[in-house]
Amino acid sequence: MSEGHPTVTAIDETQSSRPGRTGLERYQPTEIEPRWQARWAELGLYETDLDDSSRPKSYILTMYPYPSGDLHIGHWYIVTPTDALARFHRMHGENVFFPIGFDAYGLPAENAAIKNNINPRDWTMQNIERERKQFRSMGAVFDWRFELVTCEPEFYRWNQWMFLRFLEAGLAYRRMSPVDWCPNDGTLAREQVEGTDRHCWRCGAPVEKRDLEQWYLRTTRYADELLDFHDLDWPEPIRLQQTNWIGRSEGGEIVFTTAPDDHQPGGDELRVFTTRPDTLFGATFMVLAPEHTLVARLTAPERRAEVDAYIARTQTETEIERLSTEREKTGVWLGADAINPVNGERIPIWIADYVLSGYGTGAIMAVPAHDERDFAFARKFGLPIRRVIAPSGSADDEALDDAYIAHTPDEMLVNSGRFSGMSAPDGMRAIVDWLAGDGRAKATVTYRLRDWLFSRQRYWGTPIPVIYCERDGIVPVPDEDLPVRLPEKVDYRGRGENPLNHDEAFLRVACPRCGEPARRETDTMDTFVDSSWYWFRYLSPRMDDGPIDRSLVDRWTPVDQYTGGAEHAVMHLLYSRFWTKAMRDLGLIAQDEPFRRLFNQGQILGADGERLSKSRGNVQDPDHLVARYGADTIRLFLMFMGPWDQGGPWSPTGIGGVHKFLGRVWTIALDPHGREGSGPDAAPLPDGEDAAAAARTIRMAAHRALRVVSTEYAEFKFNTMVAHLMELSNTLLRYRGTEAVDGPAWDEAIDLLLLMLAPAAPHITEELWSRRAAAAGAPPSSIHAQAWPTVDAAAIVDETREVPIQINGKVRDRVVVPVGISQADLEALALGRDKIKTLLNGRTPDRIIHAGGRLVNIVIRE
């Protein structure tokens, strides 16, 4: 990575900094940090020239924050290690782009507005202003000229433009779907539904389901492509979560028909999706989702009251409850039957909440013998259980205690007419082929992934640019009329309902086609729309003749490194991939994927172990910590706390240790002689070393640290990176006040320490670097413009090594040997040790393991 960069050489010792013997000023971050931040801004040190192609580009992106009011410690936890990484890449000679912006639309602004009768825009913009200041106090390398705020028309205009392209391409469509509904406050978000009785957060009214026309984006069109991660360096758990979320399953769609009875003629098709067509002969009943369109038609008059009551009850349940396999099964019989296409049997049709309308066809054939949920259902309602799969040789009518799901190589079909005796996979193919012959089945693929419901019945979001005309129906707003501006004046009328519904000036519009009075769409877009393409816009945030600058996009994207919380695993990170592919297919960009490399940091929780949120009152204000310790200490402490992908409860305990470390770096960099000074009265070298040995030890410590720290930055192991820098400073501290500090090795080691620390603690290192340069009479230059140093391989070679000697895996002795010792010599040395001889007591080892010279294990069978 650091190829072509020169090794840092020691500063000439005669010019090394040598502040007075007394009165080393203390490390005062609150004085240093604002001074350097101002200086960097003045120099334009962090302005990225996007047109500079002389260096390799590096697009480093961290998930932009939602401006909720205050940057809490969690934001620092997300941003500052990423900033360190950006700085690390700059030191490797890359042209780094590290932008920041604000995810400005969203529900909290609206909740605050409703509660306190203020304007969501004012609330949001005030928060952004406060957070800008806080961001600047971190000392991050953000280039603020590229800042982006999603609630500005210059940004959301292009959400609308892209939506219109999606609409043209058939990627956007409308259909009915149920929402949580409060009679007073309209559509509710899940977090606005409270309590087990599911009441409205504002008015307390019971929440019901209501069907509304909603806008969808056809994410399922890309389901298969989204399963392909081959070019992506993403964490395995995230890829797994997305794969499971997409949930591809192959199976068959089987056509059952309804049987005629006293109250309806039958003959309706009932399509079911099953992954197990091989079990068709075991289908002893059918289950429809309560929302299934045929329910009303099939229900027998005498059963209607019970069915309606059941449907009403399921409407108050959440999907998570409905899918629980532990819950007691519920359901009702419709009073109608279906005909199983394989054997012509009449089987009863039930409805039950465990079947969802949104998955497959919203109807299943129930095979209780071979499905856990169907089994529980059949047991509860006394429905027949017929075994159709069994390991060969076992009795085919044996009663089951549980659903038989195991897949063993020798299992075969039983009780399945002419298919009995076939293996399960063969049987599946044969049955589907047979039914497919006359159109009663087809092999299909189903996904758990659903299309993206992206309309919101809310004010504070991007208006969806369509117009409803009595004559022309749904009419897209012409491009030249964009943006459809969100009205700035809001009148909530004391309710949670979308105020656009009552904004006559917004609503009334002439149909773009016929000119007749028409009505604007009042739904707005999901805020995940903004985050689905914002990294393209960062490159040209003020561009006003198109959403993206194609030449910059081609050069700078995909993003090289994205960092953000794992809680976004399946939504933002999937929507972004979908959006990128959709843009590609519209011809807007050439690439398939948004983020080449991804790292998910963990989440910082409150001291109570809960998510940080203002409403919980557990947020930690970093400003007072910055005032007390300085930004560098906070940055370093957050990196030192633990593995970055782990997160955990926030506690500032231990921050003093990190601050102390920086204080020591300050001391050894500026005052290596200490009180005693050097010369005849200097302190003795440790361990009786002579000057040459001390210089070797110092160089070895510094270059070993460099070797490991370089990989730790690159691999996001910031906690051990800091630990290794502490180790180095502890080593150097042992030589403080000795003659060793007058040699070139010392100055080299201090330079390396500062360079390695620079990405993580940018202010103190800049201050020390400039002071040392001044003391050495060198021209001023920023440490952040220096090249990352190169390891001197000669400095880190060891001559001896300590090898543990084990007997049966227990360490019993250690021996120091030359590094190149042969196996035979090492073995002889080990067996010759007094302690080992005593323990062996004359017994002969059965085996001796050498583990590549790292260890000797003498194995004796007792």
Interface residue with RNA, options 537, 568, 704, 763 (CB under 7 A): 568
In the bound state with RNA, the residue whose beta carbon lies nearer, of 329 and 458, is 458
Fill in the DSSP letter of residue 470: T
Interface residue with RNA, options 45, 227, 300, 453 (CB under 7 A): 453
Residue 241 within binding range of RNA, rule CB under 7 A: yes
CB of 810 to RNA, least distance (A): 7
* DSSP H or E run through 431: helix 424-436
In the bound state with RNA, the residue whose beta carbon lies nearer, of 559 and 589, is 559
- Cα–Cα distance, 496 to 110 (Å, whole number): 9
DSSP secondary structure, 513-567, as one string? TT-SEEEE---EE-THHHHTTHHHHTTSTT--SSSS-HHHHHHH-SBSEEEEEGG
CB of 48 to RNA, least distance (A): 25
Residue 570: helix, strand or coil by DSSP?
coil
Residues 624-683 that bind RNA (CB under 7 A): 640-643, 646, 648, 651, 653-654, 656-658, 660-661, 663-664, 667
Stretch that binds RNA, among 200-208, 280-288, 552-560, 847-855 (CB under 7 A): 847-855
Residue 821 within binding range of RNA, rule CB under 7 A: no
In the bound state with RNA, the residue whose beta carbon lies nearer, of 95 and 524, is 524
Say if residue 368 is exposed, middle or buried (CB neighbours under 10 Å; 0-12, 13-18, 19+). buried
Interface residue with RNA, options 144, 161, 229, 245 (CB under 7 A): 245
**CA terminus-to-terminus distance, the chain:** 53
In the bound state with RNA, the residue whose beta carbon lies nearer, of 188 and 511, is 188
Q: Which amino acid is at 268?
A: D
- Cα–Cα distance, 719 to 742 (Å, whole number): 32
CB of 846 to RNA, least distance (A): 8
- Cα–Cα distance, 756 to 733 (Å, whole number): 17
Cα Rg of the chain (Å, integer): 35
CB of 347 to RNA, least distance (A): 26
- Cα–Cα distance, 721 to 717 (Å, whole number): 6
Residue 603 within binding range of RNA, rule CB under 7 A: yes
CB of 644 to RNA, least distance (A): 9
Residues 37-96 that bind RNA (CB under 7 A): 66
Residue 498 within binding range of RNA, rule CB under 7 A: no
- Cα–Cα distance, 692 to 669 (Å, whole number): 21
Residues 3-42 that bind RNA (CB under 7 A): none
CB of 444 to RNA, least distance (A): 17
CB of 187 to RNA, least distance (A): 4
Residues 431-450 that bind RNA (CB under 7 A): 448-450
Nearest C-alpha neighbor of 215 from the set 455, 482, 509: 455
In the bound state with RNA, the residue whose beta carbon lies nearer, of 240 and 309, is 240
In the bound state with RNA, the residue whose beta carbon lies nearer, of 356 and 778, is 356
Residue 829 within binding range of RNA, rule CB under 7 A: no
CB of 446 to RNA, least distance (A): 11
* DSSP H or E run through 408: none
Residues 753-812 that bind RNA (CB under 7 A): 802, 804, 806, 808-812
In the bound state with RNA, the residue whose beta carbon lies nearer, of 470 and 608, is 608
Residues 701-740 that bind RNA (CB under 7 A): 717, 719-720, 722-723, 726-727, 730, 733-734
Residues 514-553 that bind RNA (CB under 7 A): 526-528, 531
Residue located via tokens 């040459």: 692
In the bound state with RNA, the residue whose beta carbon lies nearer, of 49 and 319, is 319
Compute the half-sphere exposure of residue 126: CA atoms within 13 Å on the CB side of its CA.
Answer: 10
Interface residue with RNA, options 169, 203, 205, 851 (CB under 7 A): 851
In the bound state with RNA, the residue whose beta carbon lies nearer, of 638 and 752, is 638
Interface residue with RNA, options 76, 88, 105, 333 (CB under 7 A): 105
CB of 457 to RNA, least distance (A): 5
In the bound state with RNA, the residue whose beta carbon lies nearer, of 254 and 658, is 658
Fill in the DSSP letter of residue 803: E
DSSP secondary structure, 229-287, as one string? -TT-B--HHHHHHHHHHH--EEEEEEEEEEPP-SS-----EEEEEES-GGGGGG--EEE
In the bound state with RNA, the residue whose beta carbon lies nearer, of 514 and 627, is 627
**Axis-axis angle for helices 73-91, 622-629 (nearest 10):** 50
Compute the Cα dihedral for 167, 171, 174, 179 and give only its sign: negative
Residue 686: helix, strand or coil by DSSP?
helix
Draw the binding track, 183-222, toward RNA (x: CB under 7 A; -: no contact). ----xxxxxx-------------------x-x--------
What is the distance of C-alpha 593 from the center of its chain? Answer: 16
CB of 40 to RNA, least distance (A): 28
- Cα–Cα distance, 591 to 466 (Å, whole number): 29
Draw the binding track, 456-475, toward RNA (x: CB under 7 A; -: no contact). xxx-----------------
CB of 554 to RNA, least distance (A): 28
Stretch that binds RNA, among 272-280, 283-291, 568-576, 580-588 (CB under 7 A): 568-576
In the bound state with RNA, the residue whose beta carbon lies nearer, of 473 and 656, is 656
User: Do 331 and 305 form a contact (C-beta atoms < 8 A)?
Assistant: no
Residues 129-158 that bind RNA (CB under 7 A): none
Say if residue 508 is exposed, middle or buried (CB neighbours under 10 Å; 0-12, 13-18, 19+). exposed
Residue 698 within binding range of RNA, rule CB under 7 A: no
Residue 847 within binding range of RNA, rule CB under 7 A: yes
HEC assignment per residue over 70-95: CCCHHHHHHHHHHHHHHHHHHHCCCE
Binding-site size for RNA (CB under 7 A) equals 96
User: Do 743 and 695 form a contact (C-beta atoms < 8 A)?
Assistant: yes
CB of 316 to RNA, least distance (A): 15
What is the distance of C-alpha 332 from the center of its chain? Answer: 42
Residues 324-343 that bind RNA (CB under 7 A): 324-326
- Cα–Cα distance, 597 to 94 (Å, whole number): 16
CB of 618 to RNA, least distance (A): 12
Nearest C-alpha neighbor of 705 from the set 739, 630, 660, 756: 756
In the bound state with RNA, the residue whose beta carbon lies nearer, of 85 and 338, is 85
CB of 442 to RNA, least distance (A): 23
In the bound state with RNA, the residue whose beta carbon lies nearer, of 501 and 770, is 501
CB of 808 to RNA, least distance (A): 6
CB of 12 to RNA, least distance (A): 28
In the bound state with RNA, the residue whose beta carbon lies nearer, of 43 and 859, is 859
Q: How many CB atoms lie within 10 A of CB 51?
A: 10
Nearest C-alpha neighbor of 845 from the set 812, 800, 815: 812
Residue 180 within binding range of RNA, rule CB under 7 A: yes
